[in-house]
C-alpha cells in the first residue's frame, strides 16, 4: 500500500512519462574526481550526505565547514570529516550495513550542484583526520568515499526554488526550528 491512488510501478511506465536524456547529459557522468570536480569540492562549504541502511531506510544529513573541508584524497577517493554533532549517527550506522552513499555539493550563490556517488566506510585514518582539523578541532571520524560516479546537475531546480535569490526569500512563514523541536519533544515526552 503506497498511500497514493495511482503510482508508477515499472520501468516501462516510467519511460512513458519522461523522455530519455540527450547524449551530452548521458555522457557527463565520469567515474573519478577530475580537476574541475575537485575545484568545485574545494570551493564548497556544504554537502548533503545520503545513505541507506541495510533495511532500506534512507537519510540525508547536512555537513558544512570552511570551503575545502571535504578532502579530495586522489581521483578515486574523498573524505567527508564528521565532527561531533547530535550523535544520532544515522548516516554512520547506515554505512556499517550498506556502503552506498550519495553526496550533493552546493556552492553559495551558484545554481550548480555537484553529485558524487560511491561506496563508503567510516574511517578513523590518522592522516585523513589530521588533514581535516578545523579551528583546532579534529573530527571524530570521516566518511571515506570510493568514487564511482561524478557529475554536475543542471541548475533548474535551484533556479526554480530561488535558493540563492534574496528577492525570492521574503519572510519565511513557518515555525522556527526551535519551535518544531519543542513540539517534537512534547510528542515524545519521556516517561516520569
What CATH number does the domain containing 100 carry? Answer: 2.30.110.10
Number of domains in the chain: 1
pTM of the model: 0.88
> Do the domain assignments include residue 159?
yes
Whole-angstrom CA distances from 156 to 97, 111, 152, 160, 162 are: 34, 8, 12, 6, 10
> Do the domain assignments include residue 20?
no
> Do the domain assignments include residue 188?
no
Q: From first to last of its 192 residues, what are the pLDDT tens digits of the chain?
A: 568 989 999 999 999 999 988 888 888 899 999 999 999 999 999 999 999 999 999 999 999 999 999 999 999 999 999 998 888 899 999 999 999 999 999 999 998 899 999 999 999 999 999 999 988 899 999 999 999 999 998 888 888 888 888 887 776 788 877 888 888 888 887 776
> Do the domain assignments include residue 176?
no
Quick one: 123 exposed, middle or buried, by C-beta within 10 A (0-12, 13-18, 19+)? middle
> Do the domain assignments include residue 184?
no
> Do the domain assignments include residue 57?
yes
Calpha distance 115→149 (Å, rounded): 8
Q: What is the pLDDT of residue 171?
A: 67
> Do the domain assignments include residue 117?
yes
> Do the domain assignments include residue 11?
no
Q: Which domain holds residue 69?
A: 26-163
Amino acid at each position: 500500500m503506497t498511500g497514493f491512488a495511482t503510482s508508477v510501478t515499472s520501468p516501462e511506465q516510467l519511460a512513458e512519462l519522461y523522455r530519455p536524456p540527450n547524449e551530452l547529459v548521458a555522457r557527463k557522468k565520469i567515474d573519478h574526481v577530475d580537476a574541475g570536480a575537485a575545484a568545485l569540492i574545494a570551493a564548497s562549504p556544504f554537502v548533503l550526505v545520503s545513505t541507506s541502511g541495510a533495511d532500506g531506510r534512507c537519510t540525508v544529513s547536512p555537513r558544512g565547514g570552511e570551503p575545502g573541508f571535504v578532502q579530495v584524497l586522489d581521483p578515486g577517493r574523498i573524505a567527508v570529516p564528521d565532527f561531533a554533532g547530535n550523535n544520532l549517527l544515522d548516516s554512520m550506522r547506515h554505512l556499517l550495513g550498506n556502503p552506498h552513499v550519495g553526496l550533493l555539493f552546493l556552492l553559495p550563490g551558484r545554481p550548480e550542484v555537484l553529485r558524487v556517488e560511491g561506496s563508503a566506510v567510516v574511517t578513523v585514518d590518522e592522516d585523513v583526520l589530521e588533514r581535516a582539523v578545523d579551528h583546532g578541532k579534529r573530527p571524530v571520524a570521516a566518511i571515506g568515499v570510493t568514487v564511482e560516479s561524478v557529475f554536475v546537475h543542471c541548475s533548474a531546480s535551484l533556479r526554480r526554488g530561488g535558493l540563492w535569490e534574496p528577492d525570492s526569500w521574503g519572510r519565511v512563514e513557518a515555525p522556527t526550528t526551535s519551535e518544531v523541536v519543542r513540539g517534537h519533544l512534547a510528542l515524545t515526552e519521556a516517561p516520569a
